[in-house]
């Protein structure tokens, strides 16, 4: 099955290099490219790629802003010239963090991991993982949160788990559950 990929980078030479590297890979289809936050959000929500190769610093914000704004959340591999965003990238559950210039082997490995994750259906959020992440976010056990009904929380966690491909990263799911169940 072909993996649908989007490229988001403000530098045309960087996008062109990624396109050339992807073109040489079997079972990979480029669905589009964007160079700024607004066009990236539009592209991702319209084309619904399974993987996004995402630069960190782009006009209109940054790659993290793109992830906050999209409705469709694909798997993400950050491609950037800056190593100091790596921890933040993994906090949003990115598959990989590739420094420019992106090397063919590293990109192939990242694409292969994305294909494997899709085939396994991994990345969904189970109730236990959701509860641990939510408790970490809130700084207290779920049972001590009077505004959250455990039954409603677990139902939401199950919906995230059953939603299917592409799975939402746990941190994104936690934020969505927090928005639904916590005041303010």
Which pLDDT belongs to residue 145?
A: 56
Tens digit of each residue's pLDDT (9 = 90 or more) over 107-144: 999 999 999 888 877 543 334 445 555 565 556 665 56
Which pLDDT belongs to residue 25?
A: 97
Closest residue by Cα to residue 180 from 148, 146, 138, 132: 148
The better pLDDT of the pair 11, 164 is held by 11
The better pLDDT of the pair 23, 153 is held by 23
Which pLDDT belongs to residue 154?
A: 47
Tens digit of each residue's pLDDT (9 = 90 or more) over 157-177: 444 443 333 334 455 555 565
Please give the backbone phi and psi of residue 67, each rounded to the nearest 5 degrees, phi first. Answer: -65, -30
Residue with tokens 């991991």: 113
Which pLDDT belongs to residue 73?
A: 87
Task: Report pTM.
Answer: 0.69
User: What angle, rounded to 10 degrees, do the helices at 104-120 and 12-23 form?
Assistant: 60
The CATH-assigned architecture of domain 3-120 is: 3-Layer(aba) Sandwich (3.40)
Q: Which two tokens stand for residue 154?
A: 């677990």
Q: Give yes or no for residue 87 having a pLDDT over 60.
A: yes
Q: Which letter, b or e, does each residue of 94-105 get, where b requires 16 or more Cβ atoms within 10 Å of its Cβ? A: bbbbbebebeee
Q: Residue 76 gets which letter from DSSP?
A: E
pLDDT band at 54 (very low <50, low <70, confident <90, very high): very high
> What residue spans define the domains of the chain?
3-120, 127-181
């Amino acid at each position: 099955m072909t993996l649908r990929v989007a490229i988001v980078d403000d530098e045309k030479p960087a996008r062109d290099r990624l396109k050339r590297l992807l073109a040489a890979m079997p079972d990979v289809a480029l669905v589009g490219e964007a160079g700024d936050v607004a066009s990236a959000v539009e592209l991702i929500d319209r084309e619904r790629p399974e993987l996004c190769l995402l630069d960190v610093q782009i006009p209109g914000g940054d790659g993290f802003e793109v992830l906050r704004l999209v409705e469709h959340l694909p798997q993400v591999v950050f491609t950037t010239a800056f190593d100091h965003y790596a921890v933040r990238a993994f906090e949003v559950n990115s598959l990989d963090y590739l420094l420019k210039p992106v090397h063919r082997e590293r990109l192939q490995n990242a694409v292969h991991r994305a294909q494997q994750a899709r085939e396994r259906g991994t990345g969904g959020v189970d109730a236990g993982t959701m509860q641990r992440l939510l408790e970490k976010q809130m700084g207290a056990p779920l049972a001590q949160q009077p505004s959250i009904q455990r039954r409603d929380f677990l139902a939401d966690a199950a919906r995230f788990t059953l939603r299917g491909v592409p799975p939402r990263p746990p941190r994104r799911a936690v934020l969505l559950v927090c928005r639904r169940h916590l005041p303010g």
